[in-house]
Chains A and B, each alone.
Chain A
Amino acid sequence: MIAAWRILHKDLVLELRTREALSGLIVLVLLILLTFTFALNPEGASAAAPAVQWVTFIFAGLMAIQRSFLIERENGAWYGLLLCPIDRGAIFVAKMASNVIVLGGAQVVLLALLVLFLGVSVPVAPFGLLFVNVLGLIGFAALATLFAAISVRLRAREMMLPLLVLPLLVPLVICAVEASRIVMAGGTIASAGPWVRVLVTFDVIFSVAGWMVFEQLVHE
């Protein structure tokens, strides 16, 4: 796993240096959120906040995840990575981890903007909300990272990634929205139990599957 750490470190150095993924992500989050703010009835906006949050996050996040592979395509660095004598699953682990970190930053900004724009009240116990967000984030990053590795080789990659990933994200989005709705309303993690259990299962399945099948997926 030291190889994964080295790739992650390189990705984070590149992101800190260019800030391309995070800045693009935050601008996109802001634009989508502004659109929802004007479109929604102010009285019902707060109730719609969980759905708005996850739809915004997923659409903006897909762009950032695709970019994490596009930096490897520039100058063909992707092939340099594939030539290295490492377990290729380490590339998946590193890419997923860097996506979790970048998307996590964007998610914090998104939650703050939800409070500002949609009047969402900050939960008394924010741990539950944080927990649900982390679970949703990991599942999304695992699945989208896996498919980004496939779609980045395709000619119509910008169109293919959403087409491939969005149908598979439906269970995650439903569970994340429902669990967020409960914890935003002051409920506990236990009261969101069924949704949280599906989220955990989703995270485990796609994280492990991604790591295991990555070698086959990236081989031309």
Chain B
Amino acid sequence: MMPSAERVSRDASGPVVRAENLGKTFGRAVVLRDVALQVAAGEVLALFGPNGAGKSTLLRLLARLMTPTSGTLMLFGETGQTSAVRRRIGLVAHQSFLYPDLNARENLLFYAGMYDLVDAPARVDAWLERVALADVGTRPVRLFSRGMEQRLALARALLHEPDLVLLDEPWSGLDAAAADWLGALLVEQRQQGRTVIVATHDFERGLAVATRALIVHRGRLAWEAPVAADSSAAFDAAYRQITGAVAA
């Protein structure tokens, strides 16, 4: 386990994420264009925007699951897609990345093995406790509810203590208690010096954990501001003006 002080000092040398003129097209469809973004260690960046704005694509680019069509992307000061960079990324996407016919514990043990984690069984048990799934750890994932699967997906993504945590709609499927727990977890991640980028439609929860908010609209970063206690009204106004929709 890496001490948080060491993590902060290692990342303090430069931005965790640095994107310049980043673009992604699928065929003729331009999904992202001219994205310029810098995210420092310890920041929690909340990405908002309507469906199809490009948030998920941006997260997949940042996770190095896709190659940008244009522009440059540096993660931890590296442009390449190395194992060392992948080791420092944790992603929760729309899909859970879990095997339905393995049980919860087997899924986490498998991923712990893939990341070559020491004391994997103890770490897996600790995470099953944290996500309140210890009682059903031997139950196949295909029998899990959406919320249980989402909690296990969070454990899977954070098991290896990534420096960059990417979350796509992480509150989806969670009940109120679990959603509150996730909010507290993200604040804890920030305090430990990890960088979190979260794409969400849940404005209230997103703004509650974020240090900076960003609105993505039609593939562009349309608005950006640091989050303060009173930024909700400014955000609502900006969101309404940019997207034509009312912030929920």
Residues in B neighbouring A10, C-beta threshold 8 A: 99, 102, 110
Most buried by B among A2, A77, A79, A87: A77
Give B contacts to A, CB under 8 Å.
63-67, 81, 83-84, 86-87, 89, 91, 93-102, 106, 110-111, 113-116, 141, 156
B195 to chain A, nearest CB (A): 16
Residues in A neighbouring B93, C-beta threshold 8 A: 76, 79
Residues in A neighbouring B87, C-beta threshold 8 A: 85
Is A77 in contact with B106, judged by CB distance below 8 angstroms? Answer: no
Residues in A neighbouring B97, C-beta threshold 8 A: 75-77, 79-80, 83
Residues in B neighbouring A85, C-beta threshold 8 A: 83-84, 86-87, 114-116
Q: Closest chain A residue to B90 by CB distance?
A: A83
How many angstroms between the C-alpha atoms of A3 and B114 in the bound complex?
A: 6
Q: Could you say which of A3, A18, A76, A219 contacts B96, with CB atoms under 8 Å apart? A: A76
How many angstroms between the C-alpha atoms of A80 and B113 in the bound complex?
A: 13
How many angstroms between the C-alpha atoms of A80 and B116 in the bound complex?
A: 15
Chief secondary structure at chain B's binding surface = loop
Residues in B neighbouring A86, C-beta threshold 8 A: 83, 114
Is B102 in contact with A82, judged by CB distance below 8 angstroms? Answer: no
Residues in A neighbouring B96, C-beta threshold 8 A: 75-76
How many angstroms between the C-alpha atoms of A81 and B89 in the bound complex?
A: 13
Residues in A neighbouring B89, C-beta threshold 8 A: 83
Is B95 in contact with A83, judged by CB distance below 8 angstroms? Answer: no
Is B101 in contact with A18, judged by CB distance below 8 angstroms? Answer: yes
A6-B65 contact given A83-B89, A85-B83, CB 8 Å threshold? no
A210 to chain B, nearest CB (A): 20
Q: Could you say which of B64, B106, B111 contacts A80, with CB atoms under 8 Å apart? A: B111
A17-B113 contact given A83-B65, A86-B83, A219-B81, CB 8 Å threshold? no
Q: Closest chain A residue to B98 by CB distance?
A: A75
A217 to chain B, nearest CB (A): 13
Is B102 in contact with A83, judged by CB distance below 8 angstroms? Answer: no
B136 to chain A, nearest CB (A): 17
Residues in B neighbouring A18, C-beta threshold 8 A: 101
Q: Which 8 A-B pairs have the closest CB atoms?
A: A76-B95, A80-B97, A85-B87, A85-B83, A84-B114, A6-B113, A85-B86, A75-B96
Is B101 in contact with A14, judged by CB distance below 8 angstroms? Answer: yes
Give A contacts to B, CB under 8 Å.
2-3, 6-7, 10, 13-14, 17-18, 71, 74-77, 79-87, 219-220
B106 to chain A, nearest CB (A): 7
Most buried by B among A6, A75, A83: A83
Q: Closest chain B residue to A11 by CB distance?
A: B99
A121 to chain B, nearest CB (A): 41
Residues in B neighbouring A87, C-beta threshold 8 A: 83
Is A84 in contact with B100, judged by CB distance below 8 angstroms? Answer: no
B126 to chain A, nearest CB (A): 20
Residues in A neighbouring B91, C-beta threshold 8 A: 79, 83
Residues in A neighbouring B81, C-beta threshold 8 A: 219
Residues in A neighbouring B83, C-beta threshold 8 A: 85-87
Residues in A neighbouring B102, C-beta threshold 8 A: 10, 13-14
A–B Cβ pairs within 8 angstroms, 14 of them: A3-B113, A6-B110, A6-B114, A10-B102, A10-B110, A14-B99, A14-B102, A75-B141, A76-B93, A79-B93, A79-B95, A80-B98, A82-B65, A85-B114
Is B114 in contact with A13, judged by CB distance below 8 angstroms? Answer: no
Residues in B neighbouring A82, C-beta threshold 8 A: 65
How many angstroms between the C-alpha atoms of A74 and B101 in the bound complex?
A: 10
Residues in B neighbouring A81, C-beta threshold 8 A: 114
How many angstroms between the C-alpha atoms of A179 and B154 in the bound complex?
A: 53
A84-B86 contact given A3-B114, A6-B114, A75-B96, CB 8 Å threshold? yes
Residues in A neighbouring B65, C-beta threshold 8 A: 79, 82-83, 220
How many angstroms between the C-alpha atoms of A35 and B63 in the bound complex?
A: 50
A220-B66 contact given A17-B101, A80-B156, A86-B114, CB 8 Å threshold? yes
How many angstroms between the C-alpha atoms of A81 and B83 in the bound complex?
A: 12
